Amino acid sequence: MKDKQTTLDRLRMLPPELCEGRTWLVWRARPRANRTGKIDKVPYYISGQPRSGTQGTPADVAALASFDEALGAFERGNYSGIGRAMLGGELTALDFDKCINDKNEIDPAKRALVEGTYAEKSPSGRGLRAFYRGKLEDGKNHDVNVEVFHASGFVTITGDRINGADIIEMPEVTRAQIV
């Protein structure tokens, strides 16, 4: 990820709809055992405690932060970035791995799937994340190489935007290709 000030500047430009609610965490990068170059993104509450237990329980939800609180914890603390807990609601995140090449070119099929809505590069700079209004069941589609987050997990947020200032309804053509 780019330097912290650049990241903070980008995060302050997120679509307001993405920043709503107490759904925010911070995260730290941890190298994966036996996988050169891969990292795990370990979520933490802004209290400094790792996120644990069942997601969405009253204790979990109570420990989540507002966007501004998470941004402040990232700015002050030893964290790699911020992320959004996906607890249902009106937003769905699509996470595409390994779709940006060494020349910074985005796979055309993946770009088409995220057109028109807020989309950004992942922390590695090799993947894409897009947010849509609408509900879609959590899961992975290996044919399209996408992971869907709606009611569980958390999604790192970089602010390294590739397109879209707003979050739009998921088009049926996108939904049909993802499911």
Angle at 6 between CA 122 and CA 85, to 5 degrees: 45
State residue 36's pLDDT score. 67
Residue 85: closest CA among 140, 147, 18, 169? 18
Judge whether residue 2 has pLDDT over 60. Answer: no
Segment 65-116, tens digit of pLDDT: 999 999 999 999 999 999 999 999 999 999 999 999 999 999 999 999 999 9
Q: What is the DSSP string of 48-115?
A: SPBP-SSTTSHHHHHH-B-HHHHHHHHHHSS-SEEEEE--STTEEEEEE-S-B-TT-PBPHHHHHHHT
Segment 44-72, tens digit of pLDDT: 999 999 999 999 999 999 999 999 999 99
- Please give the structure tokens belonging to residue 171: 């088009």
Indicate the residue type of 63: A
Pairing of strands 128-133, 168-169: parallel
Q: Tell me which H or E stretch contains 17.
A: helix 16-19
Angle at 23 between CA 20 and CA 25, to 5 degrees: 120
